[in-house]
Amino acid sequence: MEWRNRWHITIRWDRADNSPAGVAVIERVVDSPARLQYLVARARADPHVVAFPYRQVRELVGDEPDRCNAGHLYGGGSATREARNWGACPCGGHLVIHCRCGDVLADPPVADDCEARRPVRED
């Protein structure tokens, strides 16, 4: 898994009749600043658009790990059943998985500039 920046934009028209989609409000999610810039430029150029607020959102994308670093399947028998916690961090956070074998996996990996606090193990 990894953190990715995305932008949510809501475009509002004065009337649904003036919207290209025939509705007064359209919500979009874009993955690049260039795509956001394009939508903002189009909204500014349309005299019937009354608002186009947008916000940046960090989202986790990718599959959760299914094995610990020792190769045990998570969610297996009583010897490999994991404990999951959320490690708070200014980067957005980390899914911290504790395997019964003692292995601890943080996903996404904790980088040098992260300030993640290791959660208490839940048995």
113 pLDDT higher than 50: yes
Domain spans of the chain? 2-60, 64-123
Q: Is the CA virtual torsion 18, 19, 24, 25 positive or negative?
A: negative
Instruction: Kindly report, residue by residue over 74-93, the tens digit of the pLDDT.
Output: 776 555 556 777 777 777 77
9 pLDDT higher than 90: yes
